[in-house]
Copies of this chain bind each other. A is one copy, B any other.
């Protein structure tokens, strides 16, 4: 079964008791981030047991040389990957000369981790007996500051319990780090400078090849009763690391603390030659505030985030904890302040999925940031792709497409493709559709049309060109077909006429043609500029119309459903519920060929289309497709249950919707897919948010209007959420008795509730 060691609590994630087997999982679950840097919950002191060390800096990556078994033309030769950054959290501790290491302590009790999501900090306490029989109590608190986002703070408190003891703290920073998933054991960092100044230390490093300059820094002091020791007793400088020693003879029962501030200044934000200066300046700021006041600022910053983005659930503490964990992690990963950053599937919690940005951002994350932050943040996410348009064109050209066709990469850090499995890299091209859809979704939600003439239209033209070139005319079918693709369901590879892909391609072509018309009429200057820049001709748009009008969409008369792809009905159509439970998840038990020829669906595929284009189909059609595909869906992608939750809710199947909700919201907390130690599933967390807001709340935009059809699972007494909508903040409260809508900010608003118009007054 799934893991269940995380304790239920409305605002905190709590682990009780020490278990070596859980170390890596907890290192993921208790990760901290502040949008620009992140840190797995590695111990500050050394630990000789199995651990997965990870410190990450947003936007700092390395172009690793591709390594594959068999090279295919078109693979990127290099691709950017998240790299493990220099360690700033390390504090070696010794007790009467014996190094503190939980793997060697003879006795450990009261071990507890708490991630306080409300206030944005992480604390670990324990009482341990060292090999030299000294019992100590430790309380280590840390956070990554939101108000000073280049810095994190640690308070490491030790109390010897059974004797006086000499406690030595050796805080350090260390650039001698490696990546777990390096392809060639390349060295990613080059240390260029290392130095110290009183109780501050600095390492300046340069990433190899990409030449990102980073200054890793720290400052430390010791507090014992009323004494504050700001000057280290010793300095230890190595080739790649530098550290101080603070020694304190400590009385039995008395507490000694080390306070450490550390972090990174990077050349994205500062002059590359003045990173140490910038580090000194941030250290001046935070040290003059002190640990406690910095923590107060942290609490305030998180309170502001929660004020807008919290979802409360009454009567179901696990559900409440789940949604808050999801919202907390999304805010730790991306704060919306920088259009050069984006949302990686693992955020700052692991290395997997090496690159940063997937179609997840457009398909799942955009609605969350649009509603809980604001229009500007959502626009930054769109702009990110506009900035990468040239690279998307290069990418398409590399695969043989011409005339400015754009294929956005499957995974990227800087616009270049970062993936190299042919069935994904070259074939999972539906991602292009999600990027167009996000433009539509943004415009629909915000009514801010200006993005399209300014930037979006060029993106749409590139994408439309790609689709038109990617199909071919089938004489046999008298239709345009799209061969050799992988749909959202990655348990099918190289299929023909994936309905979702064909449908979104057709939609992209039609939508682009509509936008061209609209921009021509409403923004003639932009129209002229874009046409000149793209050299778009009538011959091309004529072809787009033709392809859209004659796109083949596989359909089964017998079942009355669109087919996921050609040949789907040839499969052995046994529902997933009949599979041997020991063989689930199938991706951990079945060979790949068996998965491929099975009917099992990793994540919503045809149903993803019904989610995006709900208004194109009747509820009856949705029901038919849901009933056909749900039984084969194994939800082995984190992005799957949320879509099914929304659709089950729409169909009034609240028990099923609730089950999907729990699965999506507690995916990592309960480790459904048995892989949380590799990091958290950040992007799917936005899907959890959608499960409540769009699923239970039934929020939609239809005909330019905000609509709701609120429902509530029977397990819940009440839930509430807020959304930022066209200069208003709307609060929605749903109980078993009904729904209440309030405007917290802004003017009155006409909305639709269960298809009836209602005006919410300010």
Contact = CB atoms under 8 A, between A and B. Distances in A.
B399 A591 contact: yes
Contact of A74 (B420, B484, B573, B591): B591
Nearest to A73: B591
B421 A69 contact: yes
Given A473-B572, A570-B474, A594 B421 contact: no
Interface stretch (A100-108, A109-117, A259-267, A475-483): A475-483
A431 interface: no
Contact of A572 (B472, B566, B572, B588): B472
A497 B569 CA distance: 13
Contacts of A593: 74, 399, 422, 426-427, 484
Contacts of A493: 493-494
Interface string A465-504: 0000000111111000101100000000111110000000
B73 A474 contact: no
A400 interface: yes
Contact of A494 (B68, B400, B596): B596
A567 to B, nearest CB: 5
Nearest to A477: B570
Contact residues of A: prevailing secondary structure = loop
Contacts of A73: 587-592, 595
A20 interface: no
A622 to B, nearest CB: 24
Given A67-B67, A570-B477, A483 B591 contact: no
A78 to B, nearest CB: 13
Given A73-B591, A398-B591, A591-B400, A597 B484 contact: yes
A567 B496 contact: yes
A483 B495 CA distance: 11
Give the interface centre of A484, A497, A590, A594 by most chain B CB atoms within 10 Å. A484
A456 B275 CA distance: 74
A617 interface: no
A571 interface: yes
A581 interface: no
A70 B425 CA distance: 12
Contacts of A69: 66-69, 420-421
Contacts of A68: 68-69
Contacts of A72: 591-592
Nearest to A574: B472
Interface residues of A, number: 50
Interface in A550-577: 558, 566-567, 569-573
A474 B566 contact: no
A360 to B, nearest CB: 18
A420 B476 CA distance: 36
Given A399-B593, A484-B593, A484-B596, A421 B571 contact: no
A571 to B, nearest CB: 7
Contacts of A475: 569, 573
B422 A570 contact: no
Given A591-B74, A594-B399, A571 B426 contact: no
Contacts of A569: 474-476
B420 A591 contact: no
Contacts of A66: 69
A145 B594 CA distance: 49
A421 B437 CA distance: 34
Interface string A57-96: 0000000001111101110000000000000000000000
A520 to B, nearest CB: 33
Nearest to A559: B476
Give the interface centre of A66, A423, A481 by most chain B CB atoms within 10 Å. A423
A472 B591 contact: no
Give the interface centre of A567, A569, A571 by most chain B CB atoms within 10 Å. A567
A457 B484 CA distance: 39
B484 A570 contact: no
Contacts of A497: 570
Closest 5 CB pairs of A and B: A74-B591, A426-B593, A484-B597, A483-B597, A476-B569
9 contacts: A69-B421, A400-B590, A473-B572, A474-B569, A475-B569, A483-B571, A483-B597, A493-B494, A567-B567
Interface of A: 66-70, 72-74, 398-400, 420-423, 426-427, 472-477, 481, 483-484, 493-497, 558, 566-567, 569-573, 587-597
Given A73-B589, A476-B570, 12 more contacts: A67-B67, A67-B69, A73-B587, A399-B593, A422-B593, A426-B591, A472-B570, A472-B572, A472-B597, A484-B596, A496-B570, A567-B567
